[in-house]
Amino acid sequence: MTRATDIGVILALAAALAAPGLAHAQGRTPPAPAATAAPADAPVRYLVKPGDTLIGLSSRYLVKVGDYRTLQSLNKVPEPRHLRPGSTLTIPYPLLKTEVIAAQLGAYSGAVTITRAGRAVAATRGLALAEGDQIATGPNAFATLDLPDESRVSLPSNSTLKIARLRQVLLTGGLRRDFELTLGKGTASVSPLPTPDSQFLIRTPLSVAAVRGTEYRVAFDPARASAAAEVIKGVVGLAPTAGPPAETPVPAGFGARASAAGVAPPKPLLPAPTLVRGGRTQEDPQVAFAVEPVAGAGAYHLQLANDAGFVDVFTETVVPAPAASFAGVPDGTFFVRATAIDADGLEGLPRDYGFERDLNTLDAGAPAQDKTGKIRRFKFRWSAAGSGQRLYELQLFRGAETTPLVDVPGLTEPELSVTDLPPGAYHWRVVATRFKPGQPPSVKAGALQDLQIGE
């Protein structure tokens, strides 16, 4: 039986795949595969400059000066003190000097655990992250790793990522960034790499994602023994690590799943969902969104973030029906991202909306009544939530009349007592006028409430 760790996939950017003939995610089949070597720790190719010598390059840029002999043999150089300008040297990566590059915890929320050398480190915004650090998010927790070239990796809930390598090659300036995703999902946004020998990798036990200037998701589910890649922008090539390394191009808008049995053909991702009244102001106790159903969707994923780039995500949910709600969202300007998930678990293309959260509720309670002698008193009560100052107006209607029997504006307290109401059927409501600094007054009318007074 083949172990999961013995089988993998390679996801490598193939710039040539971005030609005009490349299929898009509208039900079309991706292009036929092209045989391409699977990327690993690729050697560096160096263009010789005037004055360069093997011994001089080795003393400055190799870990061991004596390794110039390895370069001499590998590149068939007759004389190590003489190199032909314009020629190319192939240098194995392990021989090269590198320096550590920086990363930081750009944003996080919820229970985020940083483990360094077996010990927990408190998560703080801007925390410097190093090789060997592991970042784990708990339920409804999120973390984003920022790199100096504006590339980033974002982790949603219940995900674990380890920083395997953060290095720059001194000879070329090439960047080598490796991450290991052992649980959950990671979304990578990768800036164009500065040199041909630069690499940006996200590995899972079943896959390696290596790209240049693209946006994609990588997922690994140990319970299912399956990995997945979903390409949002750019182009990714998919190949098994065992057997002939024939790449299958995965263009933007397509996804693919890998297991120990092999790599499934890429398939179109579901289209971005549309929110019903997506940009409306949210005034109710819970922030709620309705999604127009997407054909083929088995679930919907909604995330809320403080920023339009979804670097600072603070809550999310996956629901089977095209509707979701969130409790505890404070007032402010926020952003919602919606995606549809197909029956195979591949997450589709995203659509983002901005919205205002401005809690503003007005709820009526049942009137209380008491009697003193022959006087019967009815106390009408209500409650409001949300910032600002309010003035209330109580309106009481008898039967089907549209002109109020009682109309008392300018109330500052959420209650009013009315006496000596004759028996009959009544309806009543409260109208609240809210005042907030820098905004015009807003009026909110409560629903009509029934009141039946007997003999």
Give the chain's length: 455
Q: How far apart are CA 449 and CA 428, in angstroms?
A: 5
Cα gap 163→133, rounded to integer Å: 6
Q: Is 449 in contact with 401 (CB distance < 8 Å)? A: no
Domain residue ranges of the chain, discontinuous segments joined by + = 4-41+98-268, 44-91, 275-357, 361-453
What is d(CA 406, CA 198) in angstroms, rounded to the nearest whole number? Answer: 77
Residue 101 CA, distance from chain mean position: 24
pLDDT at 374: 76
Can you give the pLDDT at residue 249? 76
pLDDT (0 to 100) of residue 212:
60
State the fold for domain 44-91.
Answer: Membrane-bound Lytic Murein Transglycosylase D; Chain A (3.10.350)
For residue 103, the one-letter residue type is A
Please choose, from the candidates 349, 209, 169, 335, the residue with its C-alpha nearest in 3D space to the C-alpha of residue 272. Answer: 349
Residues 203 and 111: their CA atoms lie apart, in Å, by 24
Per-residue pLDDT tens, the chain, 455 aa: give them.
Answer: 333 333 333 444 333 333 333 333 334 444 433 333 334 578 999 999 999 999 999 999 999 999 999 999 999 999 999 999 999 999 999 999 999 998 999 999 999 999 999 999 999 999 999 999 999 999 999 999 999 999 999 999 999 999 999 999 999 999 999 999 999 999 999 988 888 888 888 888 877 776 766 899 999 999 988 888 899 998 777 666 655 556 677 889 999 887 777 778 899 999 999 999 877 899 999 999 999 999 999 999 999 999 999 999 999 999 999 999 999 999 999 999 999 999 999 999 999 999 999 999 999 989 998 887 778 899 999 999 999 999 999 999 999 899 999 999 999 999 999 998 889 999 999 999 999 998 899 999 999 999 998 87
CB under 8 Å to 73, separation ≥6 — which residues?
none
Structural tokens at position 384: 């409001």
Instruction: Give the CA angle between residues 413, 419, 425 to the nearest 5°.
Output: 100
**17 Rama sector, left if φ>0, alpha if ψ -120 to 50, beta otherwise:** alpha
pLDDT at residue 100, rounded to an integer: 94
Task: Please give the Cα distance from 277 to 257 (Å, whole number).
Answer: 34
One fold for 44-91 and 361-453:
no
Please tell me the predicted confidence (pLDDT) of residue 11. Answer: 42
Answering whether pTM is above 0.75, one says: yes
Superfamily of domain 275-357: Immunoglobulins (2.60.40.10)
**For the domain bounded by 361-453, which CATH number is listed?**
2.60.40.10
pLDDT of residue 213: 61
Provide the token pair at 274: 């549309």
Q: Which two tokens stand for residue 61?
A: 């840029």
The H-or-E segment that residue 73 falls in is helix 68-75
Q: 338 forms bridges with which residues in the sheet?
A: 302, 351
pLDDT for position 371: 81
Neighbours of 31 (CB within 10 A): 15
Sheet holding 323-326, edge to edge: 275-276, 287-291, 323-326
Cα angle: 313, vertex 316, 322; to 5 degrees: 135
Q: Is 426 strand, coil or helix? A: strand
Pick the CATH number of 4-41+98-268 from 1.10.10.60, 2.30.30.60, 2.60.120.1440, 3.10.350.10: 2.60.120.1440
Amino acid, res. 75? N
Q: How far apart are alpha carbons 240 and 335 in whole angstroms? A: 38
CA-based nearest residue to 446, from 363, 360, 359: 363
| Dist. CA 255–CA 25, nearest whole Å | 9
DSSP letters of 374-398? TEEEEEEEEEEESSSEEEEEEEEEE
For residues 30 and 51, what is the distance between their CA atoms, to the nearest angstrom? 48
